[in-house]
């Protein structure tokens, strides 16, 4: 199972989900596509240009590998107040 955390705008969808990722989900792009299909409202927020993704508490700007056992967080660039 992968743990997906949501911060900023994404927290309106959920705070946390645990999901068994299919074998086709191997990187951030395929994970984002998968969540866009399975989490209502996700696609619109993920398409915003300030979306950031961290994998195992490391913010990554490249196509980091993801899979079951990882903690992945989606956040807007300037979350908080």
Mean pLDDT of 12-32: 94
Considering the domain boundaries, does residue 39 fall inside one?
yes
Q: Beta-strand (E) ranges in 2-80?
A: 2-6, 16-19, 51-55, 58-59, 71-76
Chain segment 56-76, per-residue pLDDT in tens = 999 877 778 999 999 999 998
The helix/strand/coil state of 21 is coil
Considering the domain boundaries, does residue 10 fall inside one?
yes
Its domain, for residue 48, covers 2-76
Residue whose pair of structure tokens reads 């996700």 in the numeric block:
42
Considering the domain boundaries, does residue 67 fall inside one?
yes
Number of domains in the chain: 1
pLDDT of amino acid 80:
53
pLDDT of amino acid 78:
66
Considering the domain boundaries, does residue 81 fall inside one?
no
Average pLDDT of the chain is 91
Considering the domain boundaries, does residue 41 fall inside one?
yes
Looking up residue 22, the CATH number of its domain turns out to be 3.10.20.30
Considering the domain boundaries, does residue 15 fall inside one?
yes
């Amino acid at each position: 199972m992968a743990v997906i955390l949501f911060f900023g705008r994404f927290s309106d969808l959920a705070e946390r989900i645990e999901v068994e990722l299919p074998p086709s989900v191997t990187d951030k792009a395929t994970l984002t596509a998968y969540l866009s299909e399975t989490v209502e409202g996700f696609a619109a927020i993920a398409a915003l240009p300030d979306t950031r993704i961290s994998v195992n508490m490391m913010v990554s700007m490249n196509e980091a590998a993801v899979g079951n056992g990882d903690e992945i967080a989606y956040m807007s660039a300037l979350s908080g107040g």
